Amino acid sequence: MAEDLRRLVIATRRSRLALWQAERVRARLAAARAGLAVELLPLSTKGDELLETSLAKAGGKGLFVKELEAALVDGRADLAVHSMKDVPAELPPGFVLAAIAERDDPRDAFCSARYGSLADMPAGAVVGTSSLRRAAQIRAAHPRLAIAPLRGNVETRLAKLDRGECDAAVLAVAGLKRLGLAGRIRALLAPQETLPAPGQAALGIECLAEREDVRRLVATLEDPVAAACVRAERAVSRALGGNCAVPLAAFAEAHEGRLALRALVASPDGSRVVRAECEGSEADPEALGEAVARMLRERGAAAILAALGT
């Protein structure tokens, strides 16, 4: 029973951002249960170590969670805290998302010491990003700009920007704010300019499906509105077989029990972008996500996915 829990161990990546996120969950769990000891287990993942290889070539989003899931299986940890945008659309058998916590600002941020926005950048200027989603949307809207790979944690990417490896960088607003780096944001990119990744800015808590004690305790951290939005977005990705090799974006907003979901699939070079949007009930977010995925396929996403081998 959850009432018998006296100690919990949270598996987390070692980056400063991941530790900040795990500490947020640790503090909330400790506050929710008097006498509960909550510890962090920082781990290095292959996604953190392979900094010179694109995620698409290295194996995708699972590279950021496999080591954490291994800690759950062998009993070193009871739960894992993830950035939801890093969690594969399909979890391995035996694992569940026990809660999707509150969501921060889901937008992308434009960072540059030289320019005020993407529109201000001259032809040939270099934008740093290793996100196919961001790169495809920037190429589609600003074909005059060049894209350069930019891997690493938030501080590493900003350091590369400061060294002049690129003229600007696009990063997640939430990560910058969580690290006290909001001052590096030159402009906020509206969803109409770069549609966010599924789950961007939301925290997810994963555990073994058999751990009913952990699931009941962690369920108190669920944010129902954020969870509905993220589950709708992830349903789009799941229905389309989304992975790091597919430039795919999905973003849902809630209003009075309804969800408005927008999504897109693009060719990596930005030459083709297929968009769809629809509204549905907050009570059945997966159905809404699947409906939008069907619309995308019918409008041409199927051909893009086929060309990418998905």
Here the tokens at position 179 are: 């690290």
Give CA separation, 125 vs 144, 159, 160, 173, in Å.
Answer: 8, 18, 15, 22
- Catalytic site residue 86? yes
Q: Which helix (H) or strand (E) holds 173?
A: helix 173-178
User: Residues with Cβ < 8 Å from 174, sequence gap 6 or more?
Assistant: 104, 105, 106, 200, 201
Among 156, 307, 294, 168, smallest CA distance to 236 is for 294
Catalytic residue among 48, 74, 78, 86: 86
DSSP letter at 197 equals P
Give CA separation, 36 vs 6, 27, 31, 217, in Å.
Answer: 5, 11, 8, 11
- Which residue type occupies 176? L
Among 7, 254, 265, 268, smallest CA distance to 131 is for 268
Compute how many other C-beta atoms are within 10 angstroms of the C-beta atom of residue 275. 17
The bridge status of strand 146-148 relative to strand 273-281 is unpaired
Among 164, 188, 202, smallest CA distance to 82 is for 202
* d(C-alpha 234, C-alpha 228), whole Å: 10
What residues are labeled active site? 86
